């Protein structure tokens, strides 16, 4: 019996249109949630405390134990490219209209403190699919066409784990985890179907793949944006009675910004806003396909971004945060996150618990009723109870990387930027100073020392392995 077996009964006591502060909502207490999770045998995941590495190994996974395969939830993971913390309506943007993404938040949960461990494409994607810091997988910097590195075959991906349980799996969009040979492509990492490009669309050459077949050596990004929607909706329809995992790493609003003619001038924020509104349209089409197939209630839809916004002309907004892409200031590594799963998750919840993209693999496997056994170390932990609307402390610390170097660390309210390149340490109190403007390193020397020591400990642990 798993959490997903118990939660529907539990949630059935709550009206669907329950307001967040209603008496029915208040009855849905943490104690009862944890009690249900414990009965389900899922408490080991749901009550995870930061610093305790989870373990996972492919042969010993036992997913969806005891569950009727037809009842397994579907997963749709939509990953924007370079979308900023302040680029969505539900995160305060007023010039760009994003009703579909905002609707996910209205029907589920919005996380205000959701992080990626580095502020470029490849490390985030590796973290999402493995639940492990990129320094463990070697995927520490954005891959270029000439690069031969790739996600190691030894890594167990979310797609592989779900596929073992009969999930139909597809990657539709930008892969960016290795392309030197066909063995590096998604089909060898758990995805039954791949339609997409190997890396960012500003790079050349830009082949377009269907599975391991090159459809064209020179993809047209604008046409590809439309194809993403038709491919995604076709996959949802093809899945039939099988549970499915659709990974949709979108290519907008990464440069070059390109949108079909009908989207040009649509927003009040120039071509960047047009690109974000196109992204929102894509999300809406996917949601519509789920509804048309009658699977929207039992499909968990997750939307986030791989890193903060590129600045400059036609760049995005990090909202109140400092910095953006290529930076580990909050604007580079704190990204918008919304999640809906109507069958399980209450609507209109906002949660400020720090959660990492590292947590999505264990969360999805938790939702699918997976157990774990000894194997490669996981850095993430299930965020199921956070998504369920409860405050929780998933991580004592979150680490931020520049290539293979730890350069910043968050612990509770504190964010330390380690000294480097002749620059002194910077310490910010994120509760009082979300914009990282007042450096408290000179006043809070004990905190600086503690976090510097913690960073050194983590650095040595990662290097010492086993990883
Ligand atoms: Ca990116």
Separation of 307 CA from ligand 1 center, angstroms? 5
* Global pTM value: 0.89
Separation of 164 CA from ligand 1 center, angstroms? 29
C-alpha 251, offset from chain centre = 15
DSSP 93-144: -SSS--HHHHHHHHHSEEESSEE-SSSSHHHHHHHHHHSS-HHHHT--S---
- Please state which CATH class domain 66-369 belongs to: alpha beta
Distance from C-alpha of 411 to C-alpha of 433, rounded to nearest angstrom: 14
CA distances from 269 to 255, 264, 313, 447 (A): 15, 11, 11, 41
Separation of 192 CA from ligand 1 center, angstroms? 24
Domain ranges of the chain: 66-369, 413-464
List strand residue ranges (DSSP E) for 53-96, in order: 54-55, 74-80
Token couple for 439: 């450096």
Identify the pLDDT of residue 294: 96
Identify the pLDDT of residue 156: 92
Token couple for 240: 């039939």
Spatial contact of 325 and 87, defined as CB atoms under 8 Å apart? no
Separation of 241 CA from ligand 1 center, angstroms? 34
Q: 342-361 burial, b if ≥16 CB within 10 A, otherwise e?
A: bebbbbbbebebbbbbbbbb
CA distances from 77 to 99, 216, 251, 283, 442 (A): 18, 26, 14, 10, 42
Whether omega for the bond prior to residue 205 falls within 30 degrees of 0, making it cis, is yes
Per-residue pLDDT of the chain (467 residues), as tens digits, is 344 443 433 333 333 333 333 333 333 344 444 444 433 333 333 333 222 234 443 333 444 544 566 689 999 999 999 999 999 999 999 999 999 999 999 999 999 999 999 999 999 999 999 999 999 999 999 999 999 999 999 999 999 999 988 999 999 999 999 999 999 999 999 999 999 999 999 999 999 999 999 999 999 999 999 999 999 999 999 998 999 999 999 999 999 999 999 999 999 999 999 999 999 999 999 999 999 999 999 999 999 999 999 988 999 999 999 999 999 999 999 999 999 999 999 999 999 999 999 999 999 998 888 765 445 689 999 999 999 988 788 999 999 999 999 999 999 999 999 998 889 999 999 999 999 999 999 999 999 999 999 999 999 998 766 55
Token couple for 96: 């760009």
Identify the pLDDT of residue 370: 74
DSSP 408: E
Spatial contact of 455 and 399, defined as CB atoms under 8 Å apart? yes
Residue appearing with tokens 């995941």: 45
β-strand pairing of 244-249 with 74-80: parallel
Separation of 159 CA from ligand 1 center, angstroms? 21
* Sheet order of strands, 414-417 included: 398-402, 405-411, 414-417, 426-429
In terms of Cα–Cα distance, which of 159, 179, 157, 177 is closest to 168? 159
Separation of 347 CA from ligand 1 center, angstroms? 29
Spatial contact of 272 and 81, defined as CB atoms under 8 Å apart? no
Catalytic residues: 121, 176
Token couple for 125: 């994607």
Identify the pLDDT of residue 42: 37
Is 395 strand, coil or helix?
coil
Burial class (CB in 10 A: 0-12, 13-18, 19+), 132: buried
Distance from C-alpha of 3 to C-alpha of 366, rounded to nearest angstrom: 8
Separation of 123 CA from ligand 1 center, angstroms? 10
Identify the pLDDT of residue 466: 59
């Amino acid at each position: 019996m798993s959490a997903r077996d118990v939660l529907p009964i539990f949630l059935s006591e709550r009206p669907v249109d329950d307001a967040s502060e209603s008496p029915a909502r208040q009855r849905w207490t943490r104690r009862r949630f944890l009690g249900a999770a414990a009965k389900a045998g899922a408490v080991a995941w749901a009550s995870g405390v930061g610093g305790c590495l989870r373990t996972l190994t492919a042969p010993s996974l036992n997913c969806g134990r005891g569950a009727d395969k037809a009842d397994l939830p579907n997963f749709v993971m939509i990953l924007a490219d370079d979308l900023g913390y302040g680029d969505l309506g539900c995160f305060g943007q007023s010039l760009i209209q994003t009703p579909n993404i905002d609707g996910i938040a209205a029907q589920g949960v919005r996380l205000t403190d959701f992080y990626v461990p580095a502020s470029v494409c490849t490390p985030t994607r590796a973290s999402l699919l493995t639940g492990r810091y990129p320094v463990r997988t070697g995927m520490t910097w954005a891959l270029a066409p000439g690069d031969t590195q790739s996600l190691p075959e030894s890594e167990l991906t979310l797609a592989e784990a779900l596929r073992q349980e009969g999930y139909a799996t597809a990657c539709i969009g930008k892969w960016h985890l290795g392309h030197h040979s066909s063995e590096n492509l998604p089909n060898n990492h758990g995805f039954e179907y791949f339609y997409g490009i190997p890396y960012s669309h500003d790079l050349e050459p830009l082949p377009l793949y269907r599975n391991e077949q090159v459809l064209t050596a020179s993809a047209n990004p604008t046409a590809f944006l439309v194809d993403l929607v038709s491919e995604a909706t076709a996959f949802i329809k093809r899945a039939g009675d099988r549970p499915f995992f659709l990974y949709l790493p979108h290519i907008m609003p990464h440069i070059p910004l390109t949108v079909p003619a009908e989207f040009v001038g649509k927003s009040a924020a120039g071509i960047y806003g047009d690109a974000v509104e196109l992204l929102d349209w894509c999300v809406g089409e996917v949601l519509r396909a789920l509804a048309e197939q009658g699977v929207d209630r039992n499909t968990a839809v997750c939307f986030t971004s791989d890193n903060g916004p590129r600045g400059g002309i036609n760049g995005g907004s990090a909202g109140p945060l400092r910095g953006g892409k290529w930076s580990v200031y909050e604007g580079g590594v704190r990204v918008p996150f919304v999640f809906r799963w109507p069958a399980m998750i209450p609507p209109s919840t906002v949660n400020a618990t720090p959660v990492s993209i590292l947590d999505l693999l264990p969360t999805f496997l938790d939702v699918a009723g997976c157990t774990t056994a000894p194997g490669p170390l996981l850095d993430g932990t299930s965020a199921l109870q956070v998504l369920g609307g409860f405050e929780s402390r998933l991580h004592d610390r979150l680490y931020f990387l520049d290539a293979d170097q730890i350069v910043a660390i968050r612990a509770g309210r504190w964010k330390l930027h380690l000294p480097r390149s002749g620059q002194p340490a910077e310490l910010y109190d994120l509760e009082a100073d979300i914009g990282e403007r007042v450096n408290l390193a000179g006043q809070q020397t004990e905190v600086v020392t503690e976090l510097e020591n913690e960073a050194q400990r983590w650095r040595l642990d990662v290097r010492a392995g086993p990883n």
